[in-house]
Amino acid sequence: MVRKRPQRTCIACRQTGDKRGLIRIVRTPEGQVAVDETGKRAGRGAYLCANPACWQIALDEKRVGRALKITPSPEDLAALRAYGQALPPAENAGEPNTA
């Protein structure tokens, strides 16, 4: 029997993919917004592709705040922006992930 893999949608490009292939951002119970490396932290989550263009779209268009139902602090936004910029560029640079 083949097990189904959980699917999630990138909040920037709206592409659906395997949960493990996307990066989770979480609003913690304390009200902070952070990258969830394990995918298991408590709190409301949203997913982004591992594509710097998707991170830029999500942060510039305030999609992270909308998805997490919170206004992230400037420090949290700066940390997310730095994380997104540190990701390796996608093969189709400048465009959201289509795979």
Chunk the chain into consecutive blocks of 10 residues (it has 99) and report each block's average pLDDT, rounded to whole numbers.
Answer: 91 95 96 94 96 96 96 96 91 51
Give residue 81's pLDDT: 96
Is the pTM higher than 0.75? yes
| Kind of pairing between the strands at 23-27 and 7-9 | unpaired
Cα 86 from chain centre: 14
Using DSSP, how many helices (H) and how many strands (E) does the chain show? 3, 5
Taken in order of first residue, the domains within the chain and their CATH numbers are 7-86 (3.30.1230.10)
Alpha-carbon dihedral sign for residues 52, 57, 59, 64: negative
Cα 20 from chain centre: 12
Rounded (5°) CA angle 55-91-11: 25
